[in-house]
Amino acid sequence: METKQNSAIQKKGKLFMDFMEKINELSKKVEKIKWNLKTEEATKTSIILPFFQILGYDVFDPCEFVPEYTADAGIKKGEKVDYAIMFNNEPLILVEAKSANTELSGKHISQLMRYFSVTKAKFAILTNGIVYQFFSDLEEHNKMDTIPFLKFDLCHSKKETIEELKGFQKDAFDVKLILSSASDLKYMTMVKSMVAEQFQNPSDQLVKLLINKNIYAGTKTQAVLDKFRTIIQKAFEEYINDIITERLSTVISPDTTQIPVVKERGDMVLTQEEVEVLDFVKSRVDTRLNIKYKKTSRYAYMQLGELSTKWICRVYIRKEQHLFVLHKFEDTDYECEYYFDEVEQLEAIKGLIKDTFEKCCKL
């Protein structure tokens, strides 16, 4: 039974890798030819139809993939959407195509909304061959949302969005399954957009909210808000940099407590408690070698010389228990994380501190 399950998982993984490879191949093709695609027809033939072929649709079967599908809206007759993907003789997905050099806009969304409202389609795709915007009627039945629940960019595809796109493959298509995740995808996209906007330019409301948290007790004048806006922007950037640094160090090293590649910043000042702990460690290794104290926004640490790979320990000073972390090596056979209230408690692991220091010296 377990062998069959493993076989099924492996087969599923291979199918996804094949799908991702085909998408990546089309992406490379698009990068080469996109500047030569001046018309809508050229875009359809060169990119859009191959895209839907990768999804498993027979673009040359007029019973499955209907070009110029009639979608008369009200008194307007002869309205046609570029393609309709059919299911049980009814349109399930509408596709409105534009040329590759067209920037998709609200005008195009409104056009697609008209077509959507007069059909039984559950999904609509607006595309210029490069960007694909996926819509549904999540908020009001038979009224297409104005915000797509999924955006897929062939020139900037990510594994996560390819995973979502996979749900639109003909063989895997499940309306209920897609709709169940579409709402979360849509709101996730909106939240990410708002976070990005606040990251680039924090609003007055956000600045007030942050500095009210025991940071600034004075009157929040516009001058004060503008001053803290710059500080908050820098804090955001440094926090993201710290996260990226730690994740990169995890990739470089097999252990999560390895190698913080941190650039020095003059405004990162060690607290008295941090210095006290690092001084304690330095006194226990008893060396004339060049020991340096450094700090990120989350912890202080000690390293040997200029190489960040030779870090010895990290110190996390907290309101509750503090955390002391030793550099873990492949041959380290002891615990490397210790909680403490007073620095004297670290006396119990002075032998381990010295052992870690000696290992750093050999790097």
> Which pLDDT score is estimated for 27?
94
For residue 277, name the pLDDT band (cuts at 50, 70, 90).
very high
pLDDT mean over 70-98: 87
Residue 253: per-residue pLDDT: 47
Number of CB atoms found within 10 A of residue 20's CB = 16
Q: Please report, rounded to a whole number, the percentage of residues in the chain having pLDDT higher than 90.
A: 47
pLDDT at 134: 96
Q: Which of 16-20, 179-183, 287-291 has the lowest mean pLDDT?
A: 179-183
pLDDT tens digits for range 107-124: 999 999 999 999 999 999
pLDDT tens for each residue of 190-246: 888 888 888 888 899 998 888 886 788 888 889 889 888 888 888 888 778 777 766
Task: Specify the higher pLDDT residue, 11 or 232.
Answer: 232
pLDDT for res 262: 37
CATH of 2-194 given 3.90.1570.30, 3.40.640.10, 3.90.870.10, 1.25.10.10: 3.90.1570.30
d(CA 360, CA 356): 6
Percent of the chain with pLDDT over 70: 88
What pLDDT, on a 0 to 100 scale, did the predictor assign at position 242? 75
pLDDT at 256 over 50: no
Q: Where are the domains of the chain?
A: 2-194, 205-252, 272-361
What is the model's pLDDT at position 190?
80
pLDDT in tens, 288-343: 888 999 988 788 999 998 887 889 999 999 887 899 999 998 888 888 889 898 99
Q: Buried b / exposed e across 304-319, counting CB within 10 Å, b at 16+? A: beeebbbbbbbbbeee
Give the Cα-Cα-Cα angle 343, 347, 353 (nearest 5 degrees): 100
Distance, in Å, from the CA atom of 311 to the CA atom of 302, rounded to the nearest integer, reads: 6
What local confidence, expressed as pLDDT, does residue 260 receive?
Answer: 38
116-166: per-residue pLDDT in tens?
A: 999 999 999 999 999 999 999 998 988 999 999 999 999 988 888 898 899
Give the mean pLDDT of the chain. 85
* Token pair belonging to 278: 């690092």
322: left (phi over 0), alpha (psi -120 to 50) or beta: beta
User: Is residue 6's pLDDT more than 80?
Assistant: no
- C-alpha 255/C-alpha 349 separation (Å) is 21
Closest CA to 352 of 339, 342, 337: 337
Confidence of residue 247 (pLDDT cuts 50, 70, 90): low
